[in-house]
């Protein structure tokens, strides 16, 4: 289940998800690692130039209990329940750095979301049959975020695992700073 939103305070696109190990309720805590909720974000980070894993959050906070993602996760048992946030402030990474996203980019992001879902290999009963490469990708994203937290930001760096192109994207409007 995914609830799509616009977001004005952060750049790029990112997910909020529900990790039992990061829930405010103690009885939600699993006995083993529950990284399954992060895999979709790792795939999106790889396939979508506007998406950034480092802005994703998988905490289940008490104040978010009434949101669609937490309700679907807790009351209906949907383990892969998300809010997909797309910035109205534009992007600060990859091929869209310095641009607001237009309709063409939002449609592209929708296709990339579908591509990422197809890579999860969901079964009819809702179980996820994860390819080992998905776990490896998640590990790469986690290491990338840890390295970014340690290293100072440089103006030429990118947070995307997607190869950049030098051409301007059609439909993306430059961000104008006053």
DSSP string for 22-81: GBSSGGG--SS--THHHHHHHHHHHH-TTB-GGG-B--B-GGGTTSHHHHHHHHH--SS-
Q: Rounded to an integer, what distance in angstroms lies between the CA atom of residue 74 and that of residue 29?
A: 13
What average pLDDT is seen over the chain? 79
Model confidence at 142, pLDDT cuts 50, 70, 90, reads confident
Residue 177: what pLDDT? 57
Q: Rounded to an integer, what distance in angstroms lies between the CA atom of residue 24 and that of residue 16?
A: 15
Domain residue limits, the chain: 2-149
Residues 15-35 have pLDDT tens digits of 999 998 888 988 888 766 677
Query: What is the dotted CATH code of the domain comprising 2-149?
Result: 3.40.630.10
User: Which residue of the set 61, 85, 107, 167 is catalytic?
Assistant: 85
Model confidence at 56, pLDDT cuts 50, 70, 90, reads very high
Residues 77-133 have pLDDT tens digits of 888 999 999 998 899 998 999 999 899 999 999 999 999 888 877 766 666 666 667
In percent, how much of the chain has pLDDT > 90?
A: 40
Catalytic status, residue 85:
yes
Model confidence at 44, pLDDT cuts 50, 70, 90, reads very high
The partner residues of 5 in beta bridges, in order of sequence, read 85
Distance of CA 94 to CAs 118, 119, 128, 159, 171, Å?
A: 23, 22, 30, 7, 16
């Amino acid at each position: 289940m995914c609830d799509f939103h616009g977001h004005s305070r952060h750049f790029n696109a990112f997910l909020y998800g529900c990790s039992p190990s990061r829930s405010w309720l103690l009885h939600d805590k699993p006995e083993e690692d529950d990284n399954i909720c992060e895999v979709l974000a790792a795939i999106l980070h790889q396939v979508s130039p506007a998406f950034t894993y480092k802005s994703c959050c998988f905490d289940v906070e008490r104040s978010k209990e009434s949101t669609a993602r937490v309700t679907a996760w807790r009351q209906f048992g949907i383990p892969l329940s998300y809010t997909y946030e797309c910035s109205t402030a534009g992007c600060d990474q990859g091929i869209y750095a310095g641009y607001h996203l237009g309709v063409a980019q939002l449609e592209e992001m929708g296709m990339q979301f579908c591509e990422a879902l197809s890579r999860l290999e969901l079964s009819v009963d809702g179980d996820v049959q994860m390819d080992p490469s998905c776990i490896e990708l998640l590990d790469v994203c986690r290491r990338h975020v840890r390295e970014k937290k340690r290293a100072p930001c440089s103006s030429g760096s990118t947070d995307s695992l997607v190869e950049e192109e030098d051409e301007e994207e059609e439909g993306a409007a430059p961000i104008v700073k006053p």
